[in-house]
Chain A
């Protein structure tokens, strides 16, 4: 095959391999066909034009467009009547992709017999490339190095120890290491020093909290119902369950099964029942006047969508209104999945505040339940009471309840809904629960309910669940997944950069009996992860997103970790784990200004809990979290773009939490036995950034300190004002002007790029 001309529109933007490889149908051709052609020539029969479909091998072959010159003519013609995609279709086919298609046609339009999209073929454990150097730490590195060699790149050296412990401590616990932890690691010369750190972090209760966050965002966890008046609900008991399950390292298959079907297990109990709250985290409409039947459909569809994104990496929602435009998921497939979730004993309209049935009462002793209390409870059925003239509301669950799943005795009938509308069922065929045929077979011994669905998801032959899950773990540590589109493994998703590594990790995950901690350990102990994140100039142009991993990850902290780090390093953090959500500082009138609810801020220690416990009002989420790109918690989100805005600078400079934390850390610095300003600042610097400042850095900070000290000595009233920020009382034994000056310098350190970054 002749080499393709490489059209480099812009060397900065496209990562291009050095040498063009021969065209591969699944990797090179189908993504183009899908993106540019499937809208009219794809799986959706209603949208199909000219009876031509290019998603199905035999139909496409039979049409003859590949061999009779028609497709070639349509690709190369400049006649708007002829040219494909039509200029008025808003489909864009880049010159580069067009020439790829032309090239493919010229070379015989090879379309393999087994043309299944890669992600629908169950992963098989690939052969591990032979280790070639001392660099490789584990199997991951063998795959990474093979690709780097192919690209004629070399890996980077290992990050220095201070950087490494900071990186891994953030990734596994969401907090930085303490000075003692950093120094102990630096001084530990044993070859197992790093492994010991990783083991310590995996055993820390902070691990479960931090790992829960991605799950909370994806499962749209919140403290309110999310519509209109945004009534409150009580789901923190489920969050407690989640943190504990992660800390206990519950095997992932069990973890998922309990959440999907903890009420249907033979060994079900109160805890497995609480786990099903996962599928009740969706929004519930309590707006007066809503039509109940309409909203039950929304809740069930939301469960299907969430399952699709989190476990299958598929955009199932596309099939809610019509056959999927790109993936072989028919509209009926959607409603067959829908049927699994359509039997919950729930109400269409939510109550005015409180949990919506089904819910169970949580014993006071939670989470330390007696044997009796730990038994499964049958929830009270829905009891509708009509209020106003005709608003049908169910009974409301009190603060000591938690929402769960519970099956109706008599299942609801499921039909395909035309255009996805609740009032347009296609009554010609009643649909039974079933999974899409493209995603593997259904075993006869699986029950046709959510328990069976969970068994199907966690089956070792399932093409997607393990891949999608390890990919999100990779995303957690490296910033981007091996499949960048971690929410979409379908035909329109991005191909994996390292397909064999992805499959190896997926199969290894299963082989390790779905052991999450073991997988995290595997990743963070790899040489790939441990590389320095310094960007070599040639890599900056070649691979700005670091997809090839010729260096370590450098990424901004999550919004939660940013606030938690300020609290932790200053000494303000209240480390309590679990319990109801808390209400830390918010701007004045945060709720009142646009809603009919008022925010009542907590006092004392509850102001300083980790950010994952901050009360999440869905329609007005905590602004500091949102400014740093948290997910809104309205629908399932597994990936957010991190962008940099001036609002972030304003938060770090001026927000009460960060100003108070700077002042509190200043108090601690002034109480140290050391008294020389530069030594105090050295200590502060190390506390926040896990390393010693350079001489230059220290000089800048000391000069600032002297200047501010001079300012505040002249204007002691300003010093007092600054110290008044926040509820925490100021230590009156310390000099106000000195304290204020230190607080400003510490604020500078909090604002450094490095303070909110994992190098």
Chain B
């Protein structure tokens, strides 16, 4: 919702009914997983 739809954290909180704190945690965790996935792809020669 943040990177694809371009919604901000507060907008995500309103749309999902989650608290701001929960959304922050999800955003951090999402970025971590995305970095890990991209790093893995680069190390194996993936696109």
Q: Answer yes or no: do A and B interact.
A: no
Chain B residues within CB distance 8 Å of chain A: none
Chain A residues within CB distance 8 Å of chain B: none
